[in-house]
Structure 1
Amino acid sequence: MANPSDSIQYDSEADVLYVRLAPGGAVARTVELDVARLIDYSADGAVVGLEFLDASDGIDLTDVTFAHRAEQLIGESGLDLPVFA
């Protein structure tokens, strides 16, 4: 299993959280769920990662693919960001 710190990137200045679900996966397209949540897909349609803007306001995992795994990785990262499911 990958180290959680390899799967989570948080830029506090930009207030953006990235949760990488497929280490090494190349992003072919990005789908915007709403203005604060984006999902990155590989060329074969697999989810590569999840991006959350304004992360300090809370991470909304409602209707997010792999929400349980994302919540687990965020929790393991030690970041003090509120998570909503």
Structure 2
Amino acid sequence: MVWWSGSPHLSARQYARIVKRWIEFMGADPQEYGTHSLRRTKATLIYRQTKNLRTVQLLLGHRKIESTVRYLGVEVDDALDIAEHIEC
């Protein structure tokens, strides 16, 4: 599908508008939700269910596991313990 810009890709602004409309449609306040908060929420839910930092790291596109740990707000000791058991 090609958007009005002639590109098959969404810009960050186009994506934000779509998310805003979706949030409004759901009856929620678009000031409380946005593309970044939804990204963080999804990553947090995946981590809580799997305890797999490596998977979340890959999904988020982080180069360093430490970045993922900070992003999720995971305790460093717990994260490092889990990361030691993950094959890269």
**What's the TM-score, normalizing by structure 2?**
0.30
Structure of greater Rg: 2
Q: Give the TM-score of the pair, scaled to structure 1.
A: 0.31
The structure that is helix-richer by fraction is 2
More strand by share: 1
Q: Which has the higher contact order (CA 8 A, sep 6+)?
A: 1
